[in-house]
A and B are shown apart, each in its own frame.
Chain A
Amino acid sequence: MLTDKKVQELEQFAKEIRIHTIDQMAVRGFGHMGGAMSICDLLSVLYGKQMKVDPQRPQWEERDWLICSKGHAGPAVYSALSLKGFFPRGWLKTLNQPQTSLPSHCDHKKTPGIDVTTGSLGQGLSVAAGIALAKKIDQNQNQIYCIIGDGESQEGQNWEAIMFAAQNKLDNLILFVDNNKQQLDNTTANICNMESFKEKLESFHWEAEEVDGHDLEAIDAAIERAKNRNGKPHAVVLNTIKGKGCSFAENILKNHHINVSKEQAEDAIDALNR
């Protein structure tokens, strides 16, 4: 259970992640808004409470790992990392500029705190499984977190990794499915319906539960439960809204990659601050 004070703190953190994400995209005037906004609450719980990391030592051996397999959500992760102190706030203005340390998709060679390079969908969970297996072999206690998109889960490689993780009892691996019901072209239901993740994952011998992905306490409680080491990999299916918290993007079908004008960004940030 989170204290009221902690909940308030995480709410504030999530809000700041959203504000900086919108602000980042406004510099160039476009970005992957939808999928960045839907994971901000998760990022708040991870970096604000659950994850053992040290901003001064991004490569710290004892750290927990985060693989954001839906690499196009990079800007949201950059906001969290910057707020946490991994790199100066000023970097956020350089998203997608020539020679930037913050490219549109997560790149571990460029950004302190990014553990694995992603962007070509469907590859992150296998890498996460490899890291989790190595940590188990080495009897290391780190937690390995991985975020995939609901559309991304259509890549067959995910399901190979899901089988592998169960077979190898990777109970140090926690998978988050950002179930925002939309992908690039349309709703996931219209293109390739993935429902139900929970049933699918359970039938693949994972422990899985579904929570409201914008309820900080529910996310935190689900992670607490998923941290048990019972021989099974764990999945938390987050029911989310694509574009959540960005006034001009939320609840719009075509909000995957959109233009972001300075005025729109200001209005959206005002709305968040209200």
Chain B
Amino acid sequence: MNEHLAIETRGLTKVYGSGNTEVVAMRDATVAVRRGEVIALLGPSGAGKSTFLTAVGLINPPTSGQVLISGVLVLDGPIALVHLRSFRRKHIGYVFQKSNLIPFLSARENVQIALQLDGASPRRARRRTLELLEELGVADRAENGTSMLSGGEQQRVAIARALANDPSVILADEPTAALDSHRGRQVMELFRRVAHEHGAGVIVVTHDQRTLEVFDTIYEMEDGAITNGIHSQEAVR
């Protein structure tokens, strides 16, 4: 059954600081995301959503609990069972609220670097990059510097990069916060499409109530705890 799960977390807990300043940012977060499934994570600011996402993304290990990616136990508490950096490169794509791109590279290079870091030849990486940018509708901006791109274009380039190495997991933290509702919706639908087409498990942290029907499952987070997922049709109803 694990083969079908893109992401599985078991009892993730994160404690920041110690003693008086101790903050429990996340407690006992247990979530399962199938391949091709897109889930939304809702919740007020400070609920622990980013903490959860960065734990799953292997950039901020939990204090305790386990993270499995594609059925492989990757994090057991703070202990890494694989080489995290190369594992991230191969299996995880990230999109954040802003500042996703390297400013001294063009749109194309921002995507291409991810492919080349994973060993693709410059020629193949370039071809694949142009396909991705085409797919995301920003091919005409390929040679522009990142500062020349609008917020929406930047997010789409970041999504192209997240998709570049065909990851089994895509994590997005408020990717539409900087976009208007029309653009925001487009981006959300894009996630849905790539999840279904590329067979990736996608977790999107969002505040945007209007786009919820795009998601397969919706989780809510409050005070570090995640409620059981609800199917999105019920939530909308």
Partners in one complex: no
- Seen from chain A, the residues whose Cβ lies within 8 Å of a Cβ on chain B are none
- Seen from chain B, the residues whose Cβ lies within 8 Å of a Cβ on chain A are none
